[in-house]
Amino acid sequence: MKKIGKFLSSMPFAITLLVLLAAACAFSSTVSQGQAYEYYAAQYGERTAGLILALHLDDAFHSWWFIGLSVFLCLNLLCCNLIRLPGLLKRVRTFAKPDGTTASNATAEAEGTGDPHRLFAALHMPSVRESENGQLYATGNRAGFWGAWVCHLGILLLILGFALGQITMKQYTVYALPGQTKGMDDSGLQVTVDDLQILRAESGAVQQYTAELTVLDPVNHTEEKGTTGVNAPANLYGYKFFQNSVGWGADVRVLKNGQELQKEGLCVGEFFAISDKPELVIYFPAFYPDYSGEPKQSDPSLPVKDPAYLYQVYYQGQILGMNVLKAGEELTIDEYTVLFENPRNYTLLAVKRDVFTWLVLLGGLVTLAGLVMAFWLQPRAVCAVKEGENWHVFGRCQKGGVLFREEFLKAAAETGFTPCKSSDIEGDDA
């Protein structure tokens, strides 16, 4: 058991895991994610496609092996932090004691008749203590001992928050033309897009999409209203509504023998069936806001100049025809007349409830704090011992030995001390 704990918390295991994780991420990024078998077969051939699916490389970041690696990393971090905690506490305590630093474990030492208080000041260590035997002593940056520990804790919180979020998160995609109401799957809520405003710069480029929403709870007969824009989500019923993207849509009218039969809003990519002849279906694959312009684009951010609607007609699942209708043009199928009008943008909303996002953010901030502590708070201790007429001064830095030694010896020289010997420059941080 102890052996397993030791292995799980060991640094070689940590490095192996990190290398494997980096390699897994790098490799997976080269394989297009979330595609069907046919896509991979066309790209790489059937055998490789089979392998990709068997190894879950099509959804690598949710695969058993990726999650497994991450779980091991967490175990590794947890064991490492737990096992090292008592030793760390002891080290911090020892470091604070005057006899924790001796001439033999010092990073640099000097002697002379200078004033040790000036040396402490030059090293920015103002709070000097005096021990019972007259030794002067100061420590600095002791919080730095905790840097790696705090950083590891932050990473653990971050991964935990991410994992809990992935498991418990509710996510929906809703797209609707202004005026349309759509259901939000199993949430029981309904979303109405009351309005979609597009703010343009003078050049015509879109600066902001703003959608006015009403979310309805049909069971409790309550509603909440809000506005969502890009980079400014709305918060309604505990869900966040993100203005994710926009696309084209239009109203489609169907007349039967000249009498209006049906009128609906239809987004590009949608089908609709004629109400009294459901085997007759109209598909709306694309909309061109400026059909006479070159090249013909269906970009949803372009202003409407010369609208044209691409349609396909299906009868009992068989395609009957496909063509483009310009504004005012009609499509006639037997007694039915179909016309498209009032082209406008629909909004695509990403709706999300993830109650663990704060944990991820906290983890990130703790990691950041840990990094600052580990890198910029390097624990240091400096002692001065009276030996006859001379002061023997020595200092220890937990890390960054070479740089500390230089700094110490420079300060010592400036305050009337001369270096003793070439000091051990290895920090004892292994």
Partner 1 sequence: MLQAENTLFTIVVIGYFILTALNFAFVILKKDALAKVAFGIQTGIFLLHTAALVLRGIGAGHWPMTNQYEFATSFAWALCLVSLVFIRKYRFPVLGAFSSPLILLMIGYAAMQSREVKELMPSLRSSWLAFHVSTAIIAYGSFGVAFVLSLIFLFRGRIKGEGFWGQHIPQPEKLDMISYRSVCLGMLFLTLTILTGAIWAEQAWGSYWSWDPKETWSLVTWIIYAIYLHLRIRRGWRGKAAAWFAVIGFICVIFTYIGVNTFLPGIHSYA
d(CA 414, CA 277): 97
291 CB-near residues (< 8 Å, 6+ apart): 306, 307, 308, 324, 326
Q: Helix (H, G, I), strand (E, B), or coil: what is residue 337?
A: strand
- Under the binding rule (CB under 6 A), the answer on residue 73 touching ligand HEM is yes
Size of the site for partner 1 (CB under 8 A): 54
Mark out the alpha helices in 283-378 (DSSP H runs).
Answer: 357-376
Q: Computed from CA positions of residues 89, 92, 96, 101, in that sequence, does the dihedral angle turn out positive or negative?
A: positive
The H or E element that residue 140 is part of is: strand 136-140
Using the rule CB under 6 A, which residue among 148, 159, 246, 281 binds ligand HEM? 148
As measured in angstroms, the least distance from the Cβ of 151 to ligand HEM is: 5
Which span (55-63, 145-153, 193-201, 292-300) binds ligand HEM, by CB under 6 A?
A: 145-153
Nearest CA-CA partner of 332 in 310, 313, 309? 313
Longest dimension (CA), the chain: 118
Pairing of strands 129-130, 108-112: unpaired
Both structure tokens of 198: 């597009």
Give the CA count within 13 Å in the CB-facing half-sphere of 43. 16
Please report whether residue 26 would count as binding partner 1 according to CB under 8 A.
yes
Report if residue 374 touches ligand HEM, rule: CB under 6 A. yes
- Does 373 participate in binding ligand HEM (rule CB under 6 A)? no
Using the rule CB under 6 A, give the single segment among 52-60, 71-79, 300-308, 321-329 that binds ligand HEM: 71-79
233 binds partner 1 (CB under 8 A): yes
How many residues are present in the chain? 430
> What is the pattern of x (binds partner 1, CB under 8 A) and - over residues 193-232?
--------x-x-xxxxx-------------------xxxx
Residue 162 binds to partner 1 (criterion: CB under 8 A): yes
**Residue bearing tokens 């600095």:** 140
Find all residues with CB under 8 Å of 231, minimum gap 6, and list them: none
Q: Which stretch binds ligand HEM (CB under 6 A): 35-43, 129-137, 146-154, 159-167?
A: 146-154
Residue 392 engages ligand HEM in binding (rule: CB under 6 A): no
Angstrom distance (rounded) from CA 406 to CA 247: 63
Q: Residue count at the site for ligand HEM (CB under 6 A)?
A: 15
Residues in contact with ligand HEM by the rule CB under 6 A: 9, 11, 14, 73, 76-77, 80, 147-148, 151-152, 155, 371, 374, 429
Residues that bind partner 1 (CB under 8 A): 11, 14-15, 18-19, 21-22, 25-26, 28-30, 32-33, 61, 162, 201, 203, 205-209, 229-233, 240, 242, 244, 350-352, 357, 360-361, 364-365, 367-368, 371-372, 375-376, 400-403, 406, 425-426, 429-430
